A and B are shown apart, each in its own frame.
Chain A
């Protein structure tokens, strides 16, 4: 069924199809349209799961932890301050290897308080042990929400995941989306079967013991191995999804989902690396500049955690000029996505000249002009190593 809808509502449709047994949510701008639509589904009997109106995001993620530990599928969604409030529990959910599904509607972190888009919230949780996937369009948001559960419930993974979409610039934007019939989704995503986490008097388990220095480090190694290994599972699930559900709305998503998407990279003199909806703007500028003989390309990163170091290094070496576009910060050091791309390229024989650009913080509009300047500055070698595109 093809319909023009808000990305938030597309996600709500996907969650409805995923059919979590427990949804726990607390409202925060700009996530509210998702949780409101879900509670409408519940009120109309379209969603049979239990809906918990949590009294804070902290309680919401804790309730999901409890539900998932019991042995059922769970879902929550948040942004910015709400995600920050969940911080303690995010690490615990991944440490307990509970495949909770979450949507993060990206919004800036206070202070100053700001309700508009950037990536500081989710990137601040990059060490939490959660899988992180970034989307550009409403169709991708819908598709990725279906995929995240299949990836995370896989026996080889058993980790929580967040699908990240830009607040307002994507969440509140109307785009055509192809919504699948439930039967087709069921063919892709089977009913949840817990592997290790159940709370059942018939086979009682203890979850969440203390890990002394004699054991803790090995548990963390196991977690790291699991998230590293998830890269393969993510690739498999993306391939399966792409095969089962081909593109039906032109330009709504890549033909084949992958850890990254290439746009006009083959003969590019300069490549931009970016995540999220800003990639739409970047693609438009690339098209326009190509018309003027400027050969720019884009590597749109989809899988941020696990960070696909080898794939990135392989794909980017050989290019002479690469500009990493960050919508986040690591105050006291260089921007996070830039740092990670640089680290991935460190051992490459042919390292590009790498530039860092900070854009769009706190909902500052990222214009065609900004992107054009980024491309030109990188091509001409102008400006500082880190440039803020105010």
Chain B
């Protein structure tokens, strides 16, 4: 049974405790249709693990293991080798985590697993902060975003640092396939998940998932905001296939929607507009976005 080419079966069941309009839970629901049922999920601590497994209930309909916040890649390394030993190499090992457990505290185990070349697929559901613990900043939080540990105030405009470039850190490990994605472009996202699962070796997909309370958006705006992130170039879609860049969307920086359209929809950037626009910061963000797209376009065109 299929709707729009997707398996009707839900491997991530309803009744989970995610917020209304949660982008991350949508991303999981969709990617499980591509990954399941012959899969083992290694999940780290975070919103999704908490809302999906409140003992005695579980939303999962596949084998699933969670232990700590920072070790899903190490657990997956053990699972992958155990499955190999049992002759079950056709069972996929899917590693899931938010940006907190991936970019920061999980980075060591992620690096180790990628260096050892395990046959695993890591999907990071990136909402750009430690949401489960109350919207604190992570290495993935973008420049200028207000979080509870990088709040906008009288002498601060939110996070001072840029977003950590995890894609290129993992590319340096020689991963055969890496991709950014957005829950707002589901066919692109799921194509990338499928490719990552089918590519041998350690592969990675970073999917942007807006967070209703964390980004301070209306619940119905999740998909609209996700799409604007891509259309403005703030969260571009690209792949690194066997070490070579391929920019998917936007195609180049000439047709970018102004990044303000994206920022204005989110309460976490409100301080950049009210009580008066912070022109310097907004210009820096816009320039940074354009430079980022230009660079990806150049790498794509040059076959690098």
- Direct contact between A and B in the complex (CB less than 8 angstroms)? yes
User: Which stretch from B34-42, B143-151, B207-215, B246-254 is at the chain A interface?
Assistant: B34-42
Contacts of B50 in A (CB 8 A): 210
Q: Which of A276-333 contact B (CB under 8 A)?
A: none
Contact in complex: B65, A62 (CB < 8 Å): no
Distance in angstroms between the alpha carbons of A330 and B60 in the assembled complex: 43
Given the interface contacts A55-B112, A59-B109, A201-B91, does A67 sit within 8 Å of B82 by beta carbon?
yes
Contacts of A207 in B (CB 8 A): 64-66
Residues 58-72 of chain B, each 1 if its beta carbon lies under 8 Å from chain A, else 0: 101111111110110
Closest partner residue, chain A, to B90 (CB atom): A201
Q: Does A205 contact B (CB under 8 A)?
A: yes
Least CB distance from A247 to B in Å reads: 35
User: Which stretch from B73-81, B226-234, B265-273, B284-292 is at the chain A interface?
Assistant: B73-81
Contacts of A198 in B (CB 8 A): 63
Contact in complex: B78, A64 (CB < 8 Å): yes
Contacts of A59 in B (CB 8 A): 71, 74, 77, 108-109, 112
Q: Does B54 contact A (CB under 8 A)?
A: yes
Contacts of A50 in B (CB 8 A): 81-82, 84-85
* Residue with the greatest number of chain A CB neighbours at <10 A, chosen from B49, B55, B111: B55
Taking chain B's interface residues, is the majority helix, strand, or loop, or is none over half, making it mixed? mixed
Q: Which of A88-105 contact B (CB under 8 A)?
A: 88-89, 92-93, 96
Q: Does B282 contact A (CB under 8 A)?
A: no
Among A24, A66, A88, which residue has its beta carbon within 8 angstroms of that of B76?
Answer: A66
Given the interface contacts A62-B68, A201-B91, A204-B60, does A69 sit within 8 Å of B79 by beta carbon?
yes
Q: Does B115 contact A (CB under 8 A)?
A: yes
Given the interface contacts A54-B74, A209-B54, does A67 sit within 8 Å of B38 by beta carbon?
no
Q: Does A206 contact B (CB under 8 A)?
A: yes
Q: Which of A18-75 contact B (CB under 8 A)?
A: 21-22, 24, 49-50, 52-56, 58-60, 62-72, 74
Contact in complex: B60, A63 (CB < 8 Å): no
Contact in complex: A204, B64 (CB < 8 Å): yes
Distance in angstroms between the alpha carbons of A217 and B60 in the assembled complex: 24
What is the interface size of chain A, counting residues whose CB is below 8 A from a CB of the partner? 44
Contacts of A72 in B (CB 8 A): 82, 85-86
Contact in complex: A70, B74 (CB < 8 Å): no
Contact in complex: B78, A66 (CB < 8 Å): yes
Contact in complex: B86, A74 (CB < 8 Å): no
Contacts of B166 in A (CB 8 A): none
* Residue with the greatest number of chain A CB neighbours at <10 A, chosen from B50, B71, B80: B71
Contact in complex: A54, B112 (CB < 8 Å): yes
Contact in complex: B54, A24 (CB < 8 Å): no
Among B63, B77, B79, B85, which residue has its beta carbon within 8 angstroms of that of A49?
Answer: B85
Distance in angstroms between the alpha carbons of A263 and B24 in the assembled complex: 63
Contact in complex: B66, A208 (CB < 8 Å): yes
Contact in complex: A92, B68 (CB < 8 Å): yes
Among A52, A55, A204, which residue has its beta carbon within 8 angstroms of that of B78?
Answer: A52
Contact in complex: A204, B75 (CB < 8 Å): no
Contact in complex: B65, A210 (CB < 8 Å): no
Contact in complex: B115, A55 (CB < 8 Å): yes
Distance in angstroms between the alpha carbons of A113 and B237 in the assembled complex: 48
Contacts of A92 in B (CB 8 A): 67-68
Distance in angstroms between the alpha carbons of A60 and B63 in the assembled complex: 22
Q: Does B83 contact A (CB under 8 A)?
A: yes
Counting from the closest, the 8 A-B pairs by CB-CB distance are A66-B78, A55-B112, A63-B78, A62-B74, A66-B75, A209-B53, A208-B66, A70-B82
| Further 8 A-B residue pairs, CB within 8 A, beyond A58-B71, A62-B75, A70-B83 | A62-B74, A66-B74, A70-B82, A199-B40, A204-B63, A207-B66, A210-B53, A215-B56
- A interface residues, Cβ below 8 angstroms from B: 21-22, 24, 49-50, 52-56, 58-60, 62-72, 74, 88-89, 92-93, 96, 198-201, 204-212, 215
- B interface residues, Cβ below 8 angstroms from A: 37-40, 42, 49-50, 53-56, 58, 60-68, 70-71, 74-86, 88, 91, 108-109, 111-112, 115-116
